[in-house]
Amino acid sequence: MRDPDGNDAHKNPHLIEDRIIHAALSGRIAPGERLGEKELAEIFGVSRTLVREAMMRLQARGIVEVSARRGWFVVEPSVEEARHTIDARRALEVGMLVTISQPDTGMIRALREHVRAEQKAIAGGDRGERSYLLGHFHVCLAETLGNPVLASLLQDLTTRTVLIAALYQSSHDAHESCGEHGGIIDALEKGDTTEAARLMDVHLRHVEKALNYRSASNRLDHLKAALQGSSG
Mean pLDDT (the chain, rounded) = 84
**Mean per-residue pLDDT, 161-181:** 80
Q: What pLDDT is recorded for position 219?
A: 46
- The percent helix, strand, coil of the chain (3-state, each to 5) is 70, 5, 25
Is 86:203 a contact under the CB 8 Å cutoff? Answer: no
Q: What pLDDT is recorded for position 4?
A: 46
| Cα gap 128→34, rounded to integer Å | 19
Beta strands in the chain (DSSP E): 34-35, 64-67, 71-74
Q: What pLDDT is recorded for position 9?
A: 60
Q: What pLDDT is recorded for position 171?
A: 77
**Mean per-residue pLDDT, 178-190:** 97
| Cα gap 170→105, rounded to integer Å | 33
Tell me phi and psi for residue 60, to 5 degrees. Answer: -65, -25
| Cα gap 232→228, rounded to integer Å | 10
Spatial strand order of the sheet with 34-35 comes to 34-35, 71-74, 64-67
**Mean per-residue pLDDT, 219-227:** 48
Write down all domains in the chain, each with its CATH number in brackets.
15-74 (1.10.10.10), 79-221 (1.20.120.530)
Is 17:59 a contact under the CB 8 Å cutoff? Answer: no
Q: What pLDDT is recorded for position 79?
A: 76
**Mean per-residue pLDDT, 35-47:** 93
Q: What pLDDT is recorded for position 169?
A: 66
**Mean per-residue pLDDT, 205-224:** 61
pLDDT band at 214 (very low <50, low <70, confident <90, very high): low
What is the share, in percent, of the chain residues with pLDDT greater than 90?
Answer: 53
pLDDT band at 24 (very low <50, low <70, confident <90, very high): confident
Q: What pLDDT is recorded for position 92?
A: 95
**Mean per-residue pLDDT, 173-195:** 95
Q: What pLDDT is recorded for position 25?
A: 81
| Cα gap 108→144, rounded to integer Å | 8
Express each pLDDT in 45-100 by its tens digit.
Answer: 999 999 999 999 999 988 999 988 889 999 888 778 888 999 999 999 999 999 88
Q: What pLDDT is recorded for position 149?
A: 93
**Mean per-residue pLDDT, 190-196:** 95
